[in-house]
Structure 1
């Protein structure tokens, strides 16, 4: 059986490791358009901020491919797919036969079609990140265009380097897909306090040598312009091959396209009308596809999304249907703008269907578990938002947390799995990460994993 994977990013590299774990003999060839080995794209904001080095966000050791008999072609983009003969053809003319093909082509940064945009740098790849850092060393000021998750992380990272930064956003408030308007305003005020100037409701019409020209003629001065205007699934190869493509490459519950020998996973895939732009769904899809490819049975039923902002001194988690109002659901809300705090629960039929937690909060773990499980919400709504004020037990304490509770959402690792890993000899976070991959996605579960490991060691009187 010959498996070819097009794309060696976070989805493609995970698929390869999952397939190899199940089948040590299948012939695997992977083509990656980037010249470097796979890296954790969602941690690029840490690299930009200077809290991580590029080598610290690599996903795969170079020796892994040879040790696991995987042929990896870096810097070798696939130009087209010959479905009739079952070959992929690279841009440099290589033809590689396949029995099964997986498309993990990811997304490209959206670059707005405005004059002078070639003066700006998109923030999408490790190479982009390195270009931005090099430019920031000599820049006197920066503009980031786009106030979504990535744009905010880029702006905060540049501000953390001491660079004056202005963030421009077309919508009326930041992160409008995940946040309601009040949360967006509070987030903007928090960022302003950290040195990021916020301009919402504005549109860039041109990038000039001196900065960004707005539609109304105003020039926002900067000598570094960063684009974070969203992403678009890479579907050209699939469309040219005649596969069904809507926003993404359409797949079924086995992650198969309308050609049963071709699968698609990650940001390029569209399942049940949804294209997911986060790492956890991509890795869930990789597991399903690997199981099916190696002869097993698995089904992907969609993902429940929790968005975490990874920006220093800004704590934000948003999940589910955050925009519902009182006319459609029970809404519990608390706002303290002077402290940068906003908390909102959206409850329907007694279950948590959405939440926003902005500002430091010890309720994130409990609410994420409630959202994941779809269980009944306790009657004490205030106690959910402020666990310290409630007489009820704090369910995200390691002592009381059930073994079924998901700790690492990116890799779907439960407390029970961490406990089993600890009992097998892992006594620190690095050992747990090596065995379960917990903490290797967005990294926001690290404190929880440390807490569980520390609690287990304490129970047994083990010093770490």
Structure 2
């Protein structure tokens, strides 16, 4: 079987690895528009902040492709699909036949159509990140346009380098898709304390040499302007090939398009009316598609979304239906704005359907498990928000955490799997990551993995 994968980002590279794990004989060719090896886009904010180097966010080393007999054609975008002939065509004229084709084309940044926008730098790719870092070296002040997750990460990263930053956002509060009004305000106040000026309810009218002109003429001075205005699925290739496209490339529960020999996964795919923009759903889809492609039986039923932000001095987890009010559900909340702390539970029919945790919290693990599993919520609501006040076992403790508890959501790795690979000889986080992929997604589980590994070593009297 000849498998061709279009897109070598987080979804495409995972699909290739998953297929090769299942079948050593499939002939695999993957095309990547970027000339570099695949990298973890989620961790680009760490590169921007200087806490990671570009080579540290790489997903697959070039030698991996050679060792696993995968042809990786990098820097060569596919420009068309000939479904009748069963091949794809690249920009330099190469025609590659396929029996099965997987589209993992991802998304592109939204660039607002305002005068001078070419002076700004989108924050999307590793090349973008490196351009921003070069520009930041000689900059006196930066403006980030867009206060969603990516914009908040970009602003925090630049501020962490000592650069004064103004964060502009059209909505009335930051990350309005994930946070309610009060959480958005608390997040804004936390960022302000870290050197980020927050301006909400504003939009950019033009990008100038000395900053941004807001609608109404008010200036926001800067010599570096970064765009984080959202993304849109890259669907042009599929649409030109005659595949069904709405917001994304429409797929069924096997991740097939309306052409049974063509699959779509990741940010370009639309399943059951939803386009997912996070890494965990993309990797879940890659696993299902790999099963189906290699002759197995698997169905994708959608993903339960947990948004995580863990920049220096900023910790946030938001999941599910965070915008519901007391009219629609039971809402339990705690706010201490002076400390940058906000916690909210949304409970309906005795089950957790949403939560926000802003500020350092040991409740994240327990609440994420409750949300994922849809199990009944314990009667002690305060104990859920503040596990230390409750006599009930805390799932976040390595000692009390059950082996079935999910530690790494991006890769669906449980405590039991970490224990098993530790017993097989993995004595540090790097060894666990190599065996299970834990910590290689958004990275927010690293502390938990370190805690489990440290606890296991302590039990056996092993010094690492």
Both structures adopt the same fold (TM-score exceeding 0.5): yes
1:281 aligns with 2:281: yes
Give the C-alpha shift of residue 459 in structure 1: 2.0
Please give the per-residue CA displacement for 1:387-411, whole angstroms capped at 9, x wherever unaligned.
Answer: 1111222122111111111100000
User: Quick one: distance in 2 between partners of 1:395 and 1:430?
Assistant: 24
Alignment of 1:102-113 (within 5 A): 102-113=102-113
Alignment of 1:370-385 (within 5 A): 370-385=370-385
User: Quick one: distance in 1 between partners of 2:210 and 2:460?
Assistant: 62
User: Quick one: distance in 1 between partners of 2:402 and 2:375?
Assistant: 13
Q: With structure 2 as the length reference, what TM-score do the two structures score?
A: 0.99
Gaps of 5+ in 2: none
Please give the per-residue CA displacement for 1:389-444, whole angstroms capped at 9, x wherever unaligned.
Answer: 11222122111111111100000001111111111111111111000000011110
Alignment of 1:138-149 (within 5 A): 138-149=138-149
Tell me the equivalent position of 2:49. 49
My pick for the range that moved more, 369-378 or 2-11, is 369-378
Please give the per-residue CA displacement for 1:246-277, whole angstroms capped at 9, x wherever unaligned.
Answer: 00000011110000000000000001111100
My pick for the range that moved more, 388-397 or 401-410, is 388-397
Tell me the equivalent position of 1:203. 203
Give the C-alpha shift of residue 23 in structure 1: 0.8
User: Quick one: distance in 1 between partners of 2:170 and 2:58?
Assistant: 33
Tell me the equivalent position of 1:101. 101
User: Quick one: distance in 2 between partners of 1:155 and 1:396?
Assistant: 30
User: Quick one: distance in 2 between partners of 1:277 and 1:90?
Assistant: 26
Give the C-alpha shift of residue 312 in structure 1: 1.1
Give the C-alpha shift of residue 321 in structure 1: 0.5
Please give the per-residue CA displacement for 1:274-316, whole angstroms capped at 9, x wherever unaligned.
Answer: 1100000000000000010000111111111110113211011
Tell me the equivalent position of 1:193. 193
Tell me the equivalent position of 1:257. 257
User: Quick one: distance in 2 between partners of 1:24 and 1:388?
Assistant: 49
Gaps of 5+ in 1: none
Give the C-alpha shift of residue 461 in structure 1: 2.2
Please give the per-residue CA displacement for 1:168-227, whole angstroms capped at 9, x wherever unaligned.
Answer: 000000000000000000000000000000000001010011110000100111010000
Tell me the equivalent position of 2:295. 295
- Residue 310 of structure 1 aligns to a residue in which SS? strand
1:160 aligns with 2:160: yes
Check conservation: 1:45, 1:310, Cα contact below 8 A.
no
- Residue 333 of structure 2 aligns to a residue in which SS? strand
- Residue 150 of structure 1 aligns to a residue in which SS? helix
Tell me the equivalent position of 2:397. 397
| Structure 1 segments (4+ residues) deviating >3 Å | none
User: Quick one: distance in 2 between partners of 1:339 and 1:113?
Assistant: 39
Tell me the equivalent position of 2:309. 309
Please give the per-residue CA displacement for 1:88-132, whole angstroms capped at 9, x wherever unaligned.
Answer: 001111110000000000000000000000000000000000000
User: Quick one: distance in 2 between partners of 1:392 and 1:310?
Assistant: 27
User: Quick one: distance in 2 between partners of 1:26 and 1:224?
Assistant: 47
User: Quick one: distance in 1 between partners of 2:33 and 2:45?
Assistant: 21
Tell me the equivalent position of 2:244. 244
Give the C-alpha shift of residue 53 in structure 1: 0.6
Tell me the equivalent position of 1:319. 319
User: Quick one: distance in 2 between partners of 1:341 and 1:414?
Assistant: 28
Alignment of 1:107-186 (within 5 A): 107-186=107-186
User: Quick one: distance in 2 between partners of 1:415 and 1:259?
Assistant: 40
Across the aligned residues of Structure 1 and Structure 2, the Cα RMSD in angstroms comes to 0.7
Tell me the equivalent position of 2:89. 89
User: Quick one: distance in 2 between partners of 1:216 and 1:334?
Assistant: 38
User: Quick one: distance in 2 between partners of 1:140 and 1:453?
Assistant: 43
Tell me the equivalent position of 1:329. 329
Give the C-alpha shift of residue 228 in structure 1: 0.1
- Residue 315 of structure 1 aligns to a residue in which SS? strand
User: Quick one: distance in 2 between partners of 1:285 and 1:400?
Assistant: 31
User: Quick one: distance in 1 between partners of 2:207 and 2:336?
Assistant: 37
User: Quick one: distance in 2 between partners of 1:455 and 1:310?
Assistant: 23
Please give the per-residue CA displacement for 1:20-72, whole angstroms capped at 9, x wherever unaligned.
Answer: 11111111001000010100000000000011111111111111111111111
